[in-house]
Structure 1
Amino acid sequence: MKVVMKFGGSLLASPGGIPRVSRVISKASKNMKVVVVISALDDVTDLLLHAATNARTWDSTQVIHFIDTIRGTHSQPLTEMELRQATYNEAVDHLEELLDDLKLTLSGVSILRELTPRSNDLLLSFGERLSLVVVSAGLRKAGIAIEALTGGDAGIVTDDSFGEASPEVTKTRRGVKEKLLPLLTKGVVPVVAGFIARSESGEMTTLGRGGSDYTATLLADAIAADEVWIWTDVDGILTADPRIVKSARVIEELSYAEAEEMGFFGAKNMHPLALAPARKAGIPVRIRNGFKPDRLGTLINPRERKSSAIAKSVALVGNVGIVTVSGETLVGRPGTAAKIFELLGKAGVNVLMISQSVSESNISAVVRKGSLERAASALSEGLSRVGISAGVKVEPDVSVLAVVGAGMQGTPGIAAKVFSAVAATGVNVRMIAQGSSELNISFVVASRDSEKAVKALHESVVLGK
């Protein structure tokens, strides 16, 4: 049996995290062929993103302070693992080489006052590359035969779309097979830094946020793995946010389609893009808890099984707002909706949800709160330039709720049950959307009412009370 295991940053950075991960890998590698994918240590990617945003205004003192912070984050687990002196020295030397490269990268950005997409990818790649040094030292201490590789070294080839590169699937399959299968045959565990890859021209590229999961499924597809195990710090995918709903429970099984819907709506789940290689290859994915490795977690597979409950999960997306375009000039005017979304796209605004009245007199879109004013400005100025006289209104304090599950497909009365449960709590629904798949119903409420609505829906449509 071949398994690709991906370990998240919060798990790796937890007290005793790397020895704990080592035990999981050691046990599994005794009776199966294992490929390991690792993320950056917890919070390191966010620190690097902060540096990417601010390094253009930093002086040399600020660069050195940042390097010291990153050094401390990675030196601490090396010290705590009580490695043999030779292993420790080797890891520290490799760490310092990478930190020198990181310092040069940041200094270049600071001097030039410019960060290109190519340099941004190089900067962000240091999170996983530094993590690889630390984790590899711990696995070697545990007596596991490993070979440490970046995603590019492992054979993942992408285009040159820096920031969110797309894999060249055929070349990646060939490259990964050539690199990893001989190692597995020899009983060696490949340990691959997730998130990063290499373009055909040899440049460092990244797969976007959530890219370590994407790395795992790309490798699994290439080597025809039997399963992918995503090790996290939770028991699996839950029916609701446990911070809001105390009775939230682990969902034992989801279809790929259900998991993708939940990923879009912010559940602690894989990014939908990361699921795609596993879905196409029919490879099951398990979300498991690294602190409780005996638990099976949530299985994501091709089967779409309806449960006795109407839905499997209630997801909540906060920190969003509504921008609405309205006016008589919108009515019966072909191409207006296309123009609205073209303007939003050019302004770099991602639209999460759309609603339009049948009268055609208004169109509403849900966007991230941080993009709300930019969206309104782009629409006001852009529509005016093309002769469309319309009002633009923003509502900043709203949240999106999504009810997800295959049990809603082809079942009459689902919407009535959902909105009756919400209405019974005195919550007003501002906007509604449902896809033709019938796997989710999404709607918008005032932020102050969101948690109350989540609790009511969980009781009514997930627990079936």
Structure 2
Amino acid sequence: MNVLKFGGSSVANASTIESVIEIIKQQSQNQPLYVVVSAMGGITDLLLQAGEEASANNENYKNTLAEIEKRHFEAVKTLIPIVSQSAIISKVKAELNALESLCEGVYLLSELSPKTAAVIASFGEMLSSYIISEAAKIKGLDIVLKDSRELIVKTSNSKVIIDYKETNARIKEFANNNTHKVSLFPGFVARTQDGEPTTLGRGGSDFTAAILAAAIDANELQIWTDVSGLFTANPKLVKQAKPVCHISYQEAMELSHFGAKVIYPPTIHPVLEKNIPIVIKNTFKPKDQGTFITRKVEERKKPVTGISHIDSISIISLEGSGMVGIPGFSKRLFEALFLENINVILITQASSEHSICLAVEASEAEKAKTILDTTFEFEISKHKLDPVKIENDVAIVALVGDNMYHHQGLSGKMFSTLGKNNVNIRAIAQGASEKNISVVIAKKDIKKALNILHERFFEVKTKQLNLFITGVGNVGSKLLEQLQQQNKYLKNKLRLKIRVVGMSNSKTMAFNENGIDLDEWQEILAQGEKANAESFFAKAKEMNLRNSIFVDNTANPNIAKIYKHYLAESMAVVTCNKIACADEYSNYEELQDLSRKFNAPFLYETNVGAGLPIIDTLNNLIASGDNIHKIQAVLSGSLNFVFNNYTEEVTFHDIVKQAQQEGYTEPDPKIDLSGVDVARKILILARESEKVMELENIENEAFLPQESLESKSVDEFFNSLAKNEDHFKEILAEANKKQCRLKYVAQYEAENAKVGLQHIPVDHPFYNLEGSDNIVLFYTDRYPKQPLIVKGAGAGAEVTASGIFADIIRIGKSK
């Protein structure tokens, strides 16, 4: 014989009840069944609400009762043919009238005793079981309804302690005299030894089913609910969570204790002693395998079975020298809480015995503090103990698995994974069996913590990166194209799933936690909210997603100023904006320190050479112990393009205009042509070479006429170029006379740096540098005469975007 239990979601309305009856009908063809049902979904909450409203002299309890009546009558009218409805509706109405009278009494007395509350709460199961039994009879089932209050006996009204001797005797007597193929029982309800009605508390219907299964030595206990078993994590918070096919009783108890609401700990104990398997099944997907729970499980490869959490707790902390070496201190503490029925969820104590903290339900925190302050009043008054402290808005996350003790370093992996994503651990608890590692974290970090841990322990090597992109112009739009184009490759080859969850231009910004559709990003962004750099950061912080990366494709100094806020939240920063790294050295140093402190990568390869690995090469040289003696470079793709194409036949104005139109220059070309952009680049390389240097320390040999340097707008700048064409022709003529080419060169040597236009002879490595290419020569201990050369395309939206893309991939492969 099997015992089946159907929860509130399974019997929420007429449609779901029909599905339940069909499952019962199919299984009863093979063997007799005991079936336990909960109240219709949400009804128990409405019943308790009505009782509380009545006790508070709130006449709204009548409206709540009307809603309860409406839902039950709707179920009857849908499930039962009209010719058979009269008697059933009369019975249901009689029960509802009794409920109304009970609530009216509570209203008149303004008092709701535990006994009365239990009676009110029991109406849900009594009504649902009656309606289901009558509907099943209509469907032709051989079914009998048995009141669980006649079978299950508690030792008291206040605590859920079962008198198993009497309960088992009553169940066996019923079983011996029962000839029906299906026996239906209301869950949750019971009676005391004095015959008073009571309930079995949270998860009571599961408990009813387990008690019945143990008493009759059932072959199997089936828990039917709205999910396909116990999952590796809460599927509502972790989309990648999957059902666990086979799990042990102990693992199930650990997971259920820490918030997996599919099954409750008391359910497991009666069947565990009898070694009766438990199966978690989905009422709405009955063909799904579900979760099979037994004493032993075949050895699994994965050490962690599941990740669970409790999100409504508080931490109670006691500290002081009066605890150290005092026998019986812990006894006094826990006894005081026990006497007031306060459950302790987690305990941790320092080996110094100077402090102890424990987790309790958030609703009981103030009560616990009052009790402990009173218990240790003497020690507190003598300053041997500090007053009890409460920390709210925290949660417990737990790794669970029978196989965990076979694997070294699991705790380290858990802590490092959380730490890399700025999830601070407030307390830690691990049992000697090593089957549960629990940590207390901020409540706001639950979703992120569950996802990064699930990614670490269940999703093999696949890693999800969440991008917040600001700037979707030339560079930004190319980056989005490349992300979309390489999506499948990244998943299949690099095991990276990259989503753009936030984007902004100068006018609007848009967010989507599930990823912005890159096929429609222009339309989505156009309909977004008003853009603001601080608001963009605030939203990214609020979303609190794992592996978050802020990508700056702008040249905006205001955006550069808030990099430190992203880094301090353990969000990586990838940028082609040179302003931050070329700002005052103290700011540059602060960003580097924040990156290290919060383990948040700060990558800016595109600051110097667009897609060229210039900074990476330099860092590798230094990290391997080499010393930098000199750096010579052509670092402006735009200036190289301009002077490579400037001839006697064209004007300087037209070539600069062409460079701007083809995306080789900044929106304001004066930034490039004034040498400021190149000065910033060599400054960054000097700083990466561990030189403390400011922008004003770099000698800038400007070639632009003063009128151009002093221009106030882009149009004014271009007008000045046209007016001073003779000046530029003289520069070109002098170079041609020497049979040299013009290159704008940056140089760092002997702790000094300079930038300026130079005449490059035919035998120099810079001479044949074509188009918008960049080139860097590194002279070091290892490369004293023949320098290490990095050369390639150094300007353009596409190569810059590819450099940013490369930095994003670098983070994904390392974080």
- TM above 0.5, one fold? yes
Report what 1:414 is aligned to: 410
Report what 1:461 is aligned to: 457
Amino acid at match of 1:172: T
Report what 1:439 is aligned to: 435
Q: Is the 8 Å Cα contact of residues 229 and 287 (structure 1) preserved in structure 2?
A: yes
How big is the shift at 1:118? 2.1
**Separation in 2 of the partners of 1:168 and 1:296?**
35
Task: Write out aligned runs for 1:134-149 (5 A).
Answer: 134-149=131-146
Report what 2:357 is aligned to: 364
Deviates more, 1:357-366 or 1:115-124: 115-124
Deviates more, 1:10-19 or 1:384-393: 384-393
Q: Is the 8 Å Cα contact of residues 306 and 406 (structure 1) preserved in structure 2?
A: no
**Separation in 2 of the partners of 1:298 and 1:407?**
18
**Separation in 1 of the partners of 2:423 and 2:238?**
17
Would you say 1:105 and 2:83 are equivalent positions? no
Residues 240/416 of structure 1: CA separation in 2 closer, same or farther (3 Å cut) = same
Query: What TM-score results when the alignment is normalised by the length of structure 2?
Result: 0.54
How big is the shift at 1:253? 0.6
Amino acid at match of 1:381: T
**Separation in 2 of the partners of 1:248 and 1:430?**
26
**Separation in 2 of the partners of 1:370 and 1:200?**
30
Deviates more, 1:242-251 or 1:280-289: 242-251
In structure 2, stretches of 5+ residues that fail to align are: 462-815
Q: Is the 8 Å Cα contact of residues 281 and 288 (structure 2) preserved in structure 1?
A: yes
Report what 2:511 is aligned to: none
Q: 1:263 aligns with which of 256, 261, 282?
A: 256
Q: 1:235 aligns with which of 225, 228, 233?
A: 228
Would you say 1:320 and 2:313 are equivalent positions? yes
Deviates more, 1:115-124 or 1:254-263: 115-124
Q: Is the 8 Å Cα contact of residues 330 and 388 (structure 1) preserved in structure 2?
A: no
Would you say 1:151 and 2:176 are equivalent positions? no
How big is the shift at 1:337? 2.1
How big is the shift at 1:432? 0.4
Deviates more, 1:408-417 or 1:355-364: 408-417
Give the secondary structure class of the aligned counterpart of 1:453: helix
Would you say 1:192 and 2:156 are equivalent positions? no
Deviates more, 1:6-15 or 1:16-25: 6-15
Q: Which has the larger radius of gyration?
A: 2
Residues 41/463 of structure 1: CA separation in 2 closer, same or farther (3 Å cut) = same
Q: Which digits, 9 at most, give the CA deviation of each residue in 1:283-313, with x for residues without a partner?
A: 1010000001112200011113332112011
Deviates more, 1:387-396 or 1:415-424: 387-396
Report what 2:421 is aligned to: 425
**Separation in 2 of the partners of 1:274 and 1:444?**
26
Q: Is the 8 Å Cα contact of residues 397 and 447 (structure 1) preserved in structure 2?
A: yes
Amino acid at match of 1:31: N
**Separation in 1 of the partners of 2:121 and 2:413?**
46
Q: Which digits, 9 at most, give the CA deviation of each residue in 1:407-447, with x for residues without a partner?
A: 11243222222222222323221110011222110011122
Q: Which digits, 9 at most, give the CA deviation of each residue in 1:103-147, with x for residues without a partner?
A: 222122222232332222212111101111221222112111211
Q: Is the 8 Å Cα contact of residues 120 and 163 (structure 1) preserved in structure 2?
A: no
Give the secondary structure class of the aligned counterpart of 2:72: helix
Residues 100/31 of structure 1: CA separation in 2 closer, same or farther (3 Å cut) = same
Task: Write out aligned runs for 1:204-223 (5 A).
Answer: 204-223=197-216
Q: Is the 8 Å Cα contact of residues 220 and 278 (structure 2) preserved in structure 1?
A: yes
Amino acid at match of 1:4: V
Would you say 1:275 and 2:268 are equivalent positions? yes
Q: 1:377 aligns with which of 353, 370, 383?
A: 370
Report what 1:342 is aligned to: 335
How big is the shift at 1:237? 0.6
Amino acid at match of 1:430: R
Would you say 1:402 and 2:381 are equivalent positions? no
Report what 1:29 is aligned to: 28
Q: 2:113 aligns with which of 111, 116, 126?
A: 116
Q: Is the 8 Å Cα contact of residues 121 and 163 (structure 1) preserved in structure 2?
A: no
Residues 180/86 of structure 1: CA separation in 2 closer, same or farther (3 Å cut) = farther
Residues 15/87 of structure 1: CA separation in 2 closer, same or farther (3 Å cut) = closer
Amino acid at match of 2:363: G
**Separation in 2 of the partners of 1:388 and 1:345?**
25
**Separation in 2 of the partners of 1:289 and 1:427?**
34
How big is the shift at 1:63? 4.3
Amino acid at match of 2:415: F
Amino acid at match of 1:237: L
**Separation in 1 of the partners of 2:364 and 2:192?**
31
Give the secondary structure class of the aligned counterpart of 2:365: helix
Amino acid at match of 2:173: E
Query: What TM-score results when the alignment is normalised by the length of structure 1?
Result: 0.93
Q: Which digits, 9 at most, give the CA deviation of each residue in 1:236-261, with x for residues without a partner?
A: 11001112211100000111010001
Residues 320/52 of structure 1: CA separation in 2 closer, same or farther (3 Å cut) = same
Q: Is the 8 Å Cα contact of residues 47 and 65 (structure 2) preserved in structure 1?
A: no
**Separation in 1 of the partners of 2:158 and 2:324?**
39
Report what 1:67 is aligned to: 65
Give the secondary structure class of the aligned counterpart of 2:452: helix
**Separation in 2 of the partners of 1:43 and 1:84?**
25
**Separation in 2 of the partners of 1:424 and 1:461?**
15
Deviates more, 1:90-99 or 1:8-17: 8-17
How big is the shift at 1:228? 0.8
Residues 97/400 of structure 1: CA separation in 2 closer, same or farther (3 Å cut) = same
Report what 1:57 is aligned to: 56
**Separation in 1 of the partners of 2:185 and 2:446?**
40
% identity of equivalent residues: 35
Amino acid at match of 1:53: E
Q: Give the aligned CA root-mean-square deviation in angstroms.
A: 1.9
Q: Is the 8 Å Cα contact of residues 309 and 397 (structure 2) preserved in structure 1?
A: yes
Q: Which digits, 9 at most, give the CA deviation of each residue in 1:199-230, with x for residues without a partner?
A: 33322121111010111111111111100111
Q: Is the 8 Å Cα contact of residues 225 and 262 (structure 2) preserved in structure 1?
A: no
Q: Is the 8 Å Cα contact of residues 78 and 134 (structure 1) preserved in structure 2?
A: yes
Give the secondary structure class of the aligned counterpart of 2:235: coil
**Separation in 2 of the partners of 1:424 and 1:381?**
41
Q: Is the 8 Å Cα contact of residues 36 and 186 (structure 2) preserved in structure 1?
A: yes
**Separation in 2 of the partners of 1:385 and 1:139?**
64
How big is the shift at 1:162? 1.3
Give the secondary structure class of the aligned counterpart of 1:100: helix
**Separation in 2 of the partners of 1:222 and 1:379?**
41
Q: Which digits, 9 at most, give the CA deviation of each residue in 1:61-116, with x for residues without a partner?
A: 444333212111211111122x2334311211111111121122212222223233
**Separation in 2 of the partners of 1:193 and 1:165?**
17
Report what 2:19 is aligned to: 20
Q: 2:157 aligns with which of 130, 151, 162?
A: 162
Q: Which digits, 9 at most, give the CA deviation of each residue in 1:166-219, with x for residues without a partner?
A: 222122222112213432xx3431110011122333221211110101111111
Amino acid at match of 2:444: R
Q: Is the 8 Å Cα contact of residues 228 and 285 (structure 2) preserved in structure 1?
A: yes
Q: Which digits, 9 at most, give the CA deviation of each residue in 1:2-60, with x for residues without a partner?
A: 1111111111114611111111111111111111100011111111222333322226x
**Separation in 2 of the partners of 1:201 and 1:87?**
37
Amino acid at match of 1:69: E
Amino acid at match of 1:228: L
Amino acid at match of 1:151: S
Give the secondary structure class of the aligned counterpart of 2:239: coil
**Separation in 2 of the partners of 1:237 and 1:413?**
26
Deviates more, 1:389-398 or 1:67-76: 389-398
**Separation in 1 of the partners of 2:375 and 2:265?**
32
**Separation in 1 of the partners of 2:237 and 2:56?**
40
Report what 2:43 is aligned to: 44
Amino acid at match of 1:18: I
Give the secondary structure class of the aligned counterpart of 1:286: strand
Using CA pairs under 8 Å that are at least 6 residues apart, name the structure with larger relative contact order, 1 or 2. 1
Give the secondary structure class of the aligned counterpart of 1:4: strand
**Separation in 2 of the partners of 1:201 and 1:84?**
40
**Separation in 2 of the partners of 1:293 and 1:299?**
14
**Separation in 1 of the partners of 2:362 and 2:134?**
42
Amino acid at match of 1:119: T
